[in-house]
Amino acid sequence: MEARPLIYNLDSASLTDLLNRWNEPAYRAKQIWQGLYQHFYNAPDEFTSLPKSLREKIAAHLTFDGLTPVSTLSSSDRHTIKTLFRLSGGDVIEAVLMRYDKRNTLCISSQAGCAMGCVFCATGQMGFKRHLASGEIVAQVLHYARLLQEEGERVTNVVVMGMGEPFHNYENTMSAIDRLNDPHGYNFGARRFTISTVGLVPAIRRFADEERQVNLAVSLHAADDETRLEMMPVDRKYPIADLIEACRYYVQKTGRRITFEWALIHGVNDTPETARKLASLLKGLLCHVNAIPLNPTTGYSGKATDRGRAQIFKETLEAAGIPCTIRMRRGIDIAAGCGQLAGTPQPQN
Ligand code: SAH
Ligand code: SF4
């Protein structure tokens, strides 16, 4: 028997079509949609307002089980929770919930593994396994929405910064966002999403042309191609000049501020000279730099910049007119920090 499709892969039009083919009235599709995206039901039997025969039909033709939670870890400060999910086919992914300042920020994955091979990233170190289906991306959000609902809380922000390169899985990532955005369903505003990309230039241009309200973050990490290429193989195909040009196009097209991500690595990209080079690269661009001391991973020997050097880097950038924040490292004790997601333990220094 062919595997049943994951119910979260359906957008509302396809669900309506399906119910139509089953000779069910249109309001049934609406009920199911609300059950999925407003009540977060995740089994046919939970849809108690549907007739039993329809619940059985759903169970026979569709599955809810595309994403099975395998284990959950909570950081020692209890602000960060990481869940490991098994996908159909056996690959695993992780998603992380960060709870602080009244925010519940969820970091989700777009692929199992990653093909981009950034040397400092645990996901890159494990290689590419497969793209996630849109429903598998959606289901990560619904999993946490359900958990938080039990406490009367909600997800407030979603960042696509977990495992994988979202612009390498463009269609599925956008279709997941569109589905979660649906005002008749989960109604999660586009502006509350942030997508982080390694810098796939054509996709940045496409994203700009679609004029989406979703926030964009670009992983830059170096101000010259020689340094960037040592860290990020993608730089060979899309060197810094092309990348920054695409970023300028994005800002011009959307009027939205872009975030540049910068993992501070001792002696590699954290000197005042680098900060000045970066400032001149970004001159006149509506942007902001998010610097984060490197998180440790097993496959990379680089060390995190210390607090003092990080502060000097930030001040040098700001003196040159580029706003910069140094992000706190979160969830390091459970390997839930940026670049540490691999479905296996990571070092804890
Ligand atoms: N593939 C996308 C999104 C996932 S990675 C991207 O690369 O942008 C999310 C962020 O974590 C990126 O900015 C990435 O460069 C950063 N990152 C990866 N490994 C890291 C590490 N070891 N320490 C700190 N940040 C890291
Ligand atoms: Fe992939 Fe992003 Fe990790 Fe690079 S940093 S390997 S693009 S997940």
Q: Residue 219: CA atoms inside 13 Å, Cβ hemisphere, count?
A: 29
**For each of the chain's 349 residues, which pLDDT tens digit applies?**
568 999 999 999 999 999 999 999 999 999 999 999 999 999 999 999 999 999 999 999 999 999 999 999 998 887 899 999 999 999 999 999 999 888 999 999 999 999 999 999 999 999 999 999 999 999 999 999 999 999 999 999 999 999 999 999 999 999 999 999 999 999 999 999 999 999 999 999 999 999 899 999 999 999 999 999 999 999 999 999 999 999 999 999 999 999 999 999 999 999 999 999 999 999 999 999 999 999 999 999 999 999 999 999 999 999 999 999 998 777 778 787 888 888 776 655 4
Give the integer Cα–Cα distance in Å for 316 and 335. 30
Residues in the chain: 349
Instruction: Indicate the pTM of the whole model.
Output: 0.96
Residue 204, amino acid: I
For a mutational test of ligand 1's pocket, the pick from 196, 290, 332, i.e. the residue with the most ligand atoms closer than 8 A to its C-beta, is: 196
Residue 122, amino acid: A
How far, in Å, from the CA of 168 to the mean position of ligand 2? 11
Give the integer Cα–Cα distance in Å for 194 and 157. 8
For a mutational test of ligand 2's pocket, the pick from 93, 110, 165, i.e. the residue with the most ligand atoms closer than 8 A to its C-beta, is: 165
Residue 122 · residue 96 · CB < 8 Å:
no
Give the integer Cα–Cα distance in Å for 242 and 57. 52
The neighbour count for residue 233, using CB atoms within 10 Å, is: 16
Give the integer Cα–Cα distance in Å for 193 and 213. 8
Residue 181 · residue 189 · CB < 8 Å:
yes
CATH topology of domain 67-334: TIM Barrel (3.20.20)
Give the integer Cα–Cα distance in Å for 122 and 340. 5
Q: Where in the chain is the domain with CATH 3.20.20.70?
A: 67-334
CA of 194, nearest ligand number: 1
Q: Where in the chain is the domain with CATH 1.10.150.530?
A: 7-61
pLDDT of residue 2: 65
CATH of 7-61, one of 3.20.20.70, 1.10.150.530, 3.40.50.300, 1.20.58.2030: 1.10.150.530
